[in-house]
Amino acid sequence: MIPITSRPNGFTLQFRGLLNLDEMEELSRNLHDEWAGLRDPFVLVIDARQFRYFASDAQARFEHLLEESLQHGLVRITVLAISTALANLFCSIMVRTDVMPYYQYLDVAYEDDFLTEMKNWLNEPFSNEERSTKEPS
């Protein structure tokens, strides 16, 4: 099971070890349940510090889930990892799914103040200036 935690303006997902298709299918069902009650744009944080890799069918399902997330209001996604080895994997996934403009990869081993950088990136779409343009007068 992939834990989903609510966070301000979105969700945190914890990827651990090898992820298989059954886990991705369950994640998809659970995220769809979360999205059902959502009216506003949202962000995703993927905590991949204990992640190893996807089974091939699970990676394809994850890519499809990212495409769906754009339709449901995804405005930012951050992947936290402890290795640059995963950077190429996630970058290629984000390019294939058209999520790249919304994507940030943070290698927490090299980013001293990764929490501040992540929070600034994730909160940017919800700044007062942007909200004021979205709210009806």
pLDDT for the residue numbered 38:
85
pLDDT for the residue numbered 136:
40
**pLDDT tens readout for residues 26-81:** 999 999 999 998 889 999 999 999 999 999 999 999 999 999 999 999 999 999 99
Name the pLDDT band for 130 (thresholds 50, 70, 90).
very low
Domain count, the chain: 1
80, two tokens: 């936290």
**Alpha-carbon span 56 to 39, nearest angstrom:** 33
Range of the domain at 12: 4-134
Task: Work out the burial of residue 51: count CB atoms within 10 Å of its CB; fewer than 13 is exposed, 13-18 middle, 19 or more buried.
Answer: buried
- Return the CATH number at 107: 3.30.750.24
pLDDT for the residue numbered 137:
36
**Alpha-carbon span 57 to 78, nearest angstrom:** 22
pLDDT for the residue numbered 128:
62
Taking only Cα atoms into account, the Rg of the chain, rounded to an integer number of angstroms, comes to 15
